[in-house]
Amino acid sequence: MSDLVERYVAQVGRYLPKNEREEIQNELRSLLQDQLDDRYKGAPGDDDVVELLSEFGDPREMAASYSSEQYLVGPDLYPTMMMVLQRGWIWIPILVVLIRVLVAFLTAEPTTLFGLFLDTALAVVQALFVFSAIVVLIFAIMQHSGVELDETKQEFDPRNLPQVDDRAAIDRGEVAFGIAFNIFGIFILSYFLRVGGLTMRFNPTEAVEVLPVPQSWLIVFIIALAGETLVDVLALRRGRWSVGLLLAEMVMKLLGVLGTYQVLMVPLFGLLFATVPGLANIPFAERAPQIFAVFAAFVILVESVSKIVKLVFGTSDKRPFISIDPSR
């Protein structure tokens, strides 16, 4: 089968939910092959394939045709929005439960097990509501303002389809999730900035007890998340990564590590050692925040440099020298 057909099918798959992607791609591939066999008796030329793919239309519109009609968010954006929400619905409760239990342990709040369960459940519901509202609002604004997730739409030309293993292609779901999660983080950090420290009590109308943290580093942390969000938005709008965007993303992530170290790790570990002094006797325990920061920075550097090297020096055949997911 023509390489153009595979490239077309792969592009359509980028706009489909993962749980439906393989089935729809197989169906589309079979449909295209049948059309080519019927028209050209199994011997189509490249121009014939281009003509057929042009009739099928833009991959994004083809993917949208497989989705049911949506009202608040259209079929072009709805699959990506649902991927973002589904990831958030998995990770947000896990993070909230871990943080809530840790805070209860460190602060030794007078509460029963049932009371801790209710407080944690309420915190999970609040966090999920805020995250879901942010995600839906972002995609609704995109939908009703006419914003495209990719570059300005041009007339579809099958010859310009990217390769199946295009190293510069983005994972729309992953990038969109990063944008939503960062905005969620900015919302939480802004609340911390307003009340003067860390807390799991979200009550805008009353004073809450907080764990003091450096206000300047809270601002730096917010700037880092905002910068990373801007980079992700640019990548999502272009539909491709560039060396400049990858470098900017790396800088923002490293700045975010510094913010995490100063705003979260140092205060929380300080409270932990004050609550359980015996932990200080464990080798390297007092260095845990620094070890975390160095390890996180190292992982970011390795991942970012790997992406840049892959983008710049990757081979041109169908198998890049570093294997990646073809859907990305």
What residues contact 29, with CB distance under 8 A and at least 6 apart? 1, 5, 6, 9
Q: What is the pLDDT of residues 66-117, one digit of tens each?
A: 765 445 666 667 777 888 888 889 988 988 888 777 766 666 556 677 777 8
What pLDDT score does 111 carry?
Answer: 64
Predicted confidence band of residue 139 (pLDDT cuts 50, 70, 90):
confident
Give the model's confidence band at 41: pLDDT under 50 very low, under 70 low, under 90 confident, else very high: confident
pLDDT at residue 178 above 70?
A: yes
C-alpha 187/C-alpha 193 separation (Å) is: 10
Q: What is the pLDDT of residue 156?
A: 67
How confident is residue 230, by pLDDT bands cut at 50, 70 and 90? very high
Mean pLDDT of the chain: 79
List helix spans (H) across 15-57: 18-40, 46-56
The reported pLDDT for the residue numbered 58 is 83
Q: Which residues contact 270 (CB under 8 A, 6 or more apart)?
A: none
Q: What is the pLDDT of residue 118?
A: 84
> What is the predicted pLDDT for the residue at 322?
33
Q: Inform me whether the pLDDT recorded for 318 exceeds 50.
A: no
Higher pLDDT, 72 or 38: 38
pLDDT digit string, tens, across residues 266-301:
988 888 888 878 877 788 888 889 999 999 999 999
For residue 2, name the pLDDT band (cuts at 50, 70, 90).
low
* Share above pLDDT 70 across residues of the chain, in percent, rounded to a whole number: 79
- Over residues 1-30, mean pLDDT: 82
Spatial neighbors of 1 by CB under 8 A, at least 6 apart, are 29, 32, 33, 36
Q: How far apart are CA 231 and CA 225, in angstroms?
A: 10
pLDDT band at 323 (very low <50, low <70, confident <90, very high): very low
Strand, coil or helix: 241: coil
Residue, of 115 and 254, whose pLDDT is higher: 254
Position 299 scores a pLDDT of 95
